Chain A
Amino acid sequence: DIVMTQSPDSLAVSLGERATINCKSSQSVLDTSYNKNYLAWYQQKPGQPPKLLISWASTRESGVPDRFSGSGSGTDFTLTISSLQAEDVAVYYCQHYNSPPPITFGQGTRLEIK
């Protein structure tokens, strides 16, 4: 099974500053035939269900602010929030969808305001 490991576990960033969350997979999630990475990012705000932010490692879902961006390939990925807003306080999860099942998530990264 592919293991997803996020770092850090928690992060405090000042408003307007950049936030960076990392996700590492134990195996490559790159489909070399299509040059696509099978990696998604979710945001879960307190008391709410998760929300899909990014699929294919870097494709933002409709309505997601452009301050959110995803990057990386193979086994190493990054979610970046370019200018942190108060409404971005949440737990963020990565998830691979390369050859499931099983589907596995990272353990989550808690993002707070400094």
Chain B
Amino acid sequence: EVQMLESGGGLVQPGGSLRLSCAASGFTFSSSVMSWVRQAPGKGLEWVSVISSSSANTYYADSVKGRFTISRDNSQNTLFLQMNSLRAEDTALYHCAKIYNNHYWYFDLWGRGTLVTVSS
């Protein structure tokens, strides 16, 4: 079965850090471009970051650049998002998502998400 399962969300104070994980199965993770997309409560979809299959290339939304780091472990079929200097506006459900391929960046598989709440 093709699936992605996120974990690592929780409640964190402003300025704190959190590391999200996404365990993938049922497809060739090591050759897949992967991404994080977030959704603030009751709001729309916001792209966060993308990483190439080999980790050679990473891209970030301006809203998280310099604070978030995307990475992956192809031996463990796992995607990560290290989030530092968290702000209230980072509160959201964070989905990992598989990108169709390196040339066409639409999302053909989504995880259910892990909730991050930034609050004092």
By a beta-carbon cutoff of 8 Å, the part of chain A in contact with chain B is 38, 40, 42, 44, 48-52, 55, 61, 91, 93, 95, 97, 100-108
Contact = CB atoms under 8 A, between A and B. Distances in A.
Chain B interface SS verdict (over half): strand
B105 A49 contact: no
Contacts of A42: 45, 107
B111 A49 contact: yes
Nearest to B110: A49
Interface residues of B, number: 22
A40 B112 contact: no
A68 to B, nearest CB: 16
Contacts, number: 60
Contact of A103 (B47, B109, B112): B47
Contacts of B44: 91, 93, 105-108
Contact of A95 (B62, B106, B111): B106
Contact of A101 (B50, B107, B112): B50
Secondary structure at the A interface, as helix, strand, loop or mixed, is: loop
Interface string B23-60: 00000000000010000000011110010000000011
